[in-house]
Amino acid sequence: MVKITPIPAFQDNYIWLLHKDGHAVVVDPGDAAPVIRFLKQNHLHLDAILITHHHGDHIDGVESLLNVYPAMVYAPAKEHYSFPHIAVSESTEVHLANLNLSFQVLEVPGHTLGHVAYYGSNYLFCGDTLFGAGCGRLFEGSPEQMYHSLQRLAALPAETAVYCTHEYTERNIEFALTLEPNNQNLIIRAQSSREQRSQNKPTLPSTIALELATNPFLRCAVAEIQSSSKTNSSLPVNVFTAIRQMRNQF
């Protein structure tokens, strides 16, 4: 069995570390120090680094990690990276032999234009595209692109475990409750997230099923969200555009 551990970094980032039989893979190491500490403490060798997009809080630890471990780096083909890497794009298969895992690359533009997600064995590493009860900001892509990307993730099997890279769940739920105050699943999730955070535990991973039930950005066809979005249109993509805008001001 592969073990998956969140390594907290900065204010609210998680660097997800997967390991099995002494071999490890990290996703989006924005900082090398806590990763190296964990690898040494647990006597692990770093085999590979998976990158979802080019923001500093996801890549700034790569060079330092490569100085210590000769790891293979996988990063989106549509973005520029100064470290050596294998460029991945839609349908690229990333095979992690020592972990006995294979991930398929999904291009999910929106937060950045080249953003990718890694999906396989019921795990999804989605970077800053999908968050617990929320989604990433549109720094580079259009609302249409992000909406389409989120729809692709929403179509993955319900039991898929969702590993997001930020702990934003509680704040996202506060916002979601302004749109859907009577969503029972959301009310329950608010309670459990509060408990997890009060014990300093991550609210992640989530699941696609939980996101479908509580994440307003995956629920743009729901009548209550349409009316809360105050758009005249009932087109889900227009509702998405409106509530993403509202979240920016929240």
> Which positions touch Fe ion (CB under 5 A)?
57, 128
Regarding 85 and contact with Zn ion (CB under 5 A), the answer is: no
Distance CA 52, CA 128 (A): 8
Phi, psi values for residue 134, rounded to 5° = -155, -170
Kindly state the smallest distance separating residue 104's Cβ from Fe ion, in Å: 22
Select 128 or 180, whichever has its Cβ closest to Fe ion: 128
Residue linked to tokens 């704040």: 171
Distance CA 219, CA 205 (A): 20
Select 57 or 211, whichever has its Cβ closest to Fe ion: 57
Select 69 or 217, whichever has its Cβ closest to Zn ion: 217
Phi, psi values for residue 236, rounded to 5° = -50, -40
Kindly state the smallest distance separating residue 66's Cβ from Zn ion, in Å: 21
What would the x/- binding string for Zn ion be over residues 98 to 137, using CB under 5 A?
------------------------------x---------
**Closest-CB residue for Zn ion?**
55
What would the x/- binding string for Zn ion be over residues 175 to 214, using CB under 5 A?
----------------------------------------
User: Assign residue 210 a region: left if phi > 0, alpha if psi is -120 to 50, beta otherwise?
Assistant: alpha
Kindly state the smallest distance separating residue 116's Cβ from Fe ion, in Å: 14
Kindly state the smallest distance separating residue 28's Cβ from Fe ion, in Å: 8
Distance CA 156, CA 106 (A): 11
Select 107 or 128, whichever has its Cβ closest to Fe ion: 128
Distance CA 141, CA 111 (A): 6
Distance CA 243, CA 34 (A): 36
CB 50 within 8 A of CB 125: yes
Kindly state the smallest distance separating residue 245's Cβ from Zn ion, in Å: 19
Distance CA 164, CA 130 (A): 7
Which of 19, 23, 54, 55 binds Zn ion (CB under 5 A)? It is 55
Within 8 A by CB and 6+ apart from 245, the residues are none
**Cα 42 vs. chain centroid, distance in angstroms?**
25
Select 126 or 220, whichever has its Cβ closest to Zn ion: 126
What would the x/- binding string for Zn ion be over residues 219 to 248, using CB under 5 A?
------------------------------
Binding footprint of Zn ion, residue count (CB under 5 A): 2
Select 36 or 138, whichever has its Cβ closest to Zn ion: 138
Among 243, 7, 224, smallest CA distance to 147 is for: 243
Select 165 or 183, whichever has its Cβ closest to Fe ion: 165
Which residues of the chain form contacts with Zn ion (CB under 5 A)? Answer: 55, 128
